Structure 1
Amino acid sequence: MKKIILSLLGIVLMISVFAQNATTHLFQRKEIKKRLNRAACWQLKHPQNEYKFTDWTNGAFYAGLFAAYEASESKKLYKALYKMGESNKWQMGELLHHADDHALPQTYIDMYRICGEEKMIHPYKQAVDKFMSTHYSETPGLANAIERANGTLMFWCDALFMLPPALVKLGITLNEEKYLSLCDSLFKQTYELLYDHEEHLYARDISYKWDFPGVKPRKESNGEKVFWSRGNGWVMGGLARILKELPEDYPNRQFYVSNFKEIAERIRTLQQPDGLWRTSLLDPDSYPGGEASGSGFYCYALAWGINSGILEREEYLPVVRKAWIGLCALQQKNGKVGWVQPIGQDPKKNFSSESWSNFGTGAFLLAGSEMINL
């Protein structure tokens, strides 16, 4: 009997060692760079022409592409970034007061920091100055939604990835305090409107809140509140990008740090055994199968948190390692990142291994760029 037990223990140990060896290569710098390059090249060859080139979807993708360029120093990726800016004439989207149309200029500012070409940043500075001097009612289609949200300009949580990092990048780059102050004001409005202090997660918008006047509470099948994975992924990614810019002595930095750490701790507890997160954070059993975009943003933000010293390495490193293994399992041999939930605003099951989108690739690239730094 003793020999049988020892034999079984030996088999378990061998399986454990084999499993570790099977994934060890995923954390080697060479392997990560290879995966980033394959994902970036596949996406560049398969642009989503149904979206405007200044769309938020490209904002997320090119944020990831720039991170991949920084990690790999690939001339090919640099040329793609420059070509994108030239094609857009370094302009933001058409809707001045809509946060989504401010996402792509984050990459313009990053490129300006490398090249120093005024054309890369001047159009966006002009746009933000106009933004600050005009009323949101001058941007078609926004007024009613903003008024329903008690005047909150960024009334959906995704917006925290789109506009605030662009404002902070602009303020830091030009040494202009007014852009940082604007970020603080807009972010805190959204925080006060959508942050759930019990769950430490963001509602996607007021229609998913349980305590907003005139809103009928929505529930998952298990009775829990509805918290969308990618929505909170946008928030975590946005916070990481803001904190990366703000100096340690910035007066309002601690607000962002506290919010980041609270959400990180909650997200850590919601990771599933495969290392990924489900589209519904509090009802994972109803949404089987990991999703790439939300999981990618979590992996990125948590890895950045470790790298920056904000999150405890011993506590979060196992979470991030599992997340990266899970994300790599979603990438196909040709570089395509599958299992991306299509554009939406709440949990869905409408995706598969063949479902892809440029913002999902962007999340994967951001995650990989931080994994290299680990």
Structure 2
Amino acid sequence: MKKIFIMLTLAAMAMPMSAQNEKMDGVMNTTRKVNNFFMHKYADPTTPTNVGRLRPSNLWTRAVYYEGLMNLYNIDANQSYIDYTDKWADFHKWMPRNGVKTTDADDQCCGQTYIDRFFQTGDSSKINSIKENIDLQIKSNRVNYWTWIDAIQMSMPIYAELYKMTKDRLYLDYCMKMYRWSRNECGGGLYNNKTGFWWRDKDYVPPYKESDGKDCYWSRGNGWVYAALVRVMSQMDKKDKYYKELENDFIKMSKAFASCQREDGFWNVSLVSPNTYGGKEVTGTALFLYGFSWGIMNNILPAKTYKKICDKAWNALSKDAVHEDGMLGYVQGTGKDPSAGQPVTYDKIPDFEDYGTGCFLLGATEYYKLLKFRLK
């Protein structure tokens, strides 16, 4: 009798584990499907984009895709991902878009992947140009470069990665000065410390209001900052004074985003003004999933509260946004506010597909890590 009881107990314990493994397999398969769709459609990563005009393929939209691809490679070490990345980077000579003298964060974003490949290979030729670029920017002593919150994601992680590589705190000191300027001074401060939300740039701080009288907090813009904090804090010691500063913002932002998740698991394009621009949207949702998952695993966010938010977000993304062939629906096109790229629908192809895929890969892979983390 005792033996039977033990067997039944073990079986009961195994069932949830089996379901968890099955869920992880589902996340991996869906993530691969989305990525394979993109790599097949854009088989030659050196081809310029052609949306209105030709742009080199190391522009920010493509750079965000490679951020996601590197995150996927960390859990799915497929050589084709590396080959695809290196063909792209070799073609661009591991150079920031518009050369080493650029101060545009969008031009610098590709450097995050260059540095990832340096950490994987130890080949310094991959990071010489982006390091030169950042060193030149620091010498300017200007801190008012990031006038739009997207820029925080595009550039700030590079400084943290260079700090991790060189142990030179100058990189952290400088990027924190720029972050604080954007947060507290640009347009009177782009961060609303009372609510935990960010205004996209000075054009949207009060007295600007949406048509229903509410503040304009753009989903993807807030997601950019959230992802940046993850990527920066990941390079720092938890005892670092800057880590504590960013952690405080991260926690307040997490609470703000959690408060406005839709019942279906997505977030609206306009976070607190759904009557103005509501509706399902992938990029903001995926970036929030990325941050929540990471926050749980790093004991910043309580799993009891945030795990169910992650589950809802993943269910929304995987069931409602991913087409059978791996195409993503509900991706808002490029722009600077909730009105851009409207309407955002399941079948509409955005002007650029790459950053949408990149955001999805960031969120999906971090959620996969969270599921694996909870198996331990």
Q: Deviations over 1:328-359 (max 9, x none)?
A: 12011111111111001111233222334211
Q: Which residue of 2 aligns with 1:120?
A: 126
Deviation string for 1:197-221 (max 9, x for gaps)?
22211110111111xxxxxx22122
Structure 2 counterpart SS, 1:252: helix
Q: Work out whether residues 199 and 205 of structure 2, in 8 Å CA contact, stay in contact via their aligned partners in 1.
A: yes
Structure 1 residues 229 and 26: CA distance shift in structure 2, 3 A: farther
Partner of 2:349: 355
Partner of 2:82: 78
Residue 300 of structure 1: SS of its match in structure 2? Answer: helix
Q: Which residue of structure 1 lines up, in the alignment, with residue 45 of structure 2?
A: none
Alpha-carbon distance in structure 2 between the residues aligned to 1:27 and 1:157:
38
Q: Which runs of 5+ in 1 are unaligned?
A: 1-20, 137-150, 211-216
Q: 2:279–2:344: 8 Å Cα contact kept in structure 1? A: no
Query: Structure 1's 288 and 190: CA in aligned 2 closer, same or farther, altered over 3 A?
Result: closer
After TM superposition, give the deviation of residue 135 of structure 1 in Å. 7.0
Distance in 2 separating the partners of 1:289 and 1:209? 23
Q: Which residue in 1 is equivalent to 2:195?
A: 199
Q: Quick check: 1:334 aligned with 2:351?
A: no
| Matched-pair contact (CA < 8 Å) for 1:25–1:31 | no
- Structure 1 letter corresponding to 2:49: N
Matched, 1:163 2:158: no
Runs of 4+ in 1 over 6 A off after TM superposition: 24-27
Alignment-derived partner of residue 44 in structure 1: 39
Specify the code of the residue in structure 2 equivalent to 1:63. E
Which residue, 202, 222, 242 being the options, matches 1:232?
222
Cross-structure match for 1:11: none
Post-superposition Cα deviations, 1:176-196, rounded to whole Å, max 9, x if no partner, equal: 211111111111111102111
Q: Deviations over 1:145-172 (max 9, x none)?
A: xxxxxx7210111111011101101111
- 1:342/1:350 contact within 8 Å kept: no
2:108 maps to 1:102: yes
Contact 2:212–2:275 (CA<8 Å) still a contact in 1? no
* 2:331 alignment partner, SS class: coil
Matching of residue 92 in structure 1 with residue 79 in structure 2: no
Q: Which residue of structure 2 lines up, in the alignment, with residue 312 of structure 1?
A: 302
- Look up the SS of the partner of 1:342 in the other structure: coil
Residues 26 and 32, structure 1, Cα contact 8 Å, conserved in 2: no
After superposition, the Cα gap between the structure-2 partners of 1:38 and 1:25, relative to the gap in structure 1 and judged at 3 Å, is farther
Question: Which stretch of the first structure deviates more once superposed, 274-283 or 245-254?
Answer: 245-254
Which one of the candidate residues 283, 290, 304 is aligned to 1:293? 283
- Matches of 1:163 and 1:286, distance apart in 2: 31
Q: Indicate how the Cα distance of structure 1 residues 54 and 166 shifts in structure 2: closer, same or farther if over 3 A, else same.
A: same
With over 3 angstroms needed to count, the CA separation of the structure-2 counterparts of 1:221 and 1:231, relative to structure 1, is same
**Residue 103 of structure 1 contacts residue 163 of structure 1 at CA under 8 Å; is this kept in 2?**
yes
Quick one: which amino acid aligns to residue 202 of structure 1? Answer: W
Deviation at 1:27, TM superposition (A): 6.7
1:186 is matched with 178
Work out the CA distance in 1 between the residues paired with 2:21 and 2:152. Answer: 31
Which residue identity lines up with residue 345 of structure 1 in the other structure? K
Whether contact under 8 Å (1:27, 1:372) holds in the other structure is no
In structure 2, C-alpha distance between the alignment counterparts of 1:110 and 1:281, rounded to whole Å: 32
Q: 2:213 aligns with which of 223, 233, 253?
A: 223
CA distance in 1, matches of 2:73, 2:126: 18
1:280 equivalenced with 2:280 (yes/no)? no
Identity of aligned residues (%): 27
Alpha-carbon distance, 1:26 to partner: 9.9
| 2:6 match | none
Tell me which residue corresponds to 1:34.
Answer: 29
Tell me the secondary structure at the aligned position of residue 310 of structure 1: coil
Query: C-alpha separation between the residues in 2 aligned to 1:61 and 1:123?
Result: 20
- 1:172 and 2:164 correspond: yes
User: What CA distance in whole angstroms lies between the structure 1 residues aligned with 2:67 and 2:311?
Assistant: 22
Post-superposition CA distance 1:308-344 (Å, at most 9, x none)? 1111110100101000111112011111111111001
Letter matched to residue 332 of structure 1: H
Match of 1:131? 137
Query: Cα gap change, 1:27/1:261 in structure 2, threshold over 3 Å: closer, same or farther?
Result: farther
Alignment-mate amino acid for residue 38 of structure 1? K
Could you tell me which runs of 5 or more consecutive residues in structure 2 were left unpaired when the two chains were aligned.
Answer: 1-15, 43-47, 371-376
SS at match of 1:41: helix
Distance 2:296 2:349 in 1: 30
| Contact 1:202-1:232 at 8 Å conserved across structures | yes
Alignment size in residue pairs: 332
Per-residue CA deviations over 1:257-308 (Å, capped at 9, x if unaligned) read 0000000000001000110001101111333421011111011111111111
CA RMSD of aligned residues (A): 1.8
Query: What is the TM-score when the length of structure 1 is the normalising length?
Result: 0.85
The Cα shift of 1:222 comes to: 2.1
The SS at the match of 1:156 is coil
Cα drift, residue 25 of structure 1: 7.9
Offset of residue 49 of structure 1: 1.4
Distance 1:107 1:234, change over 3 A: same
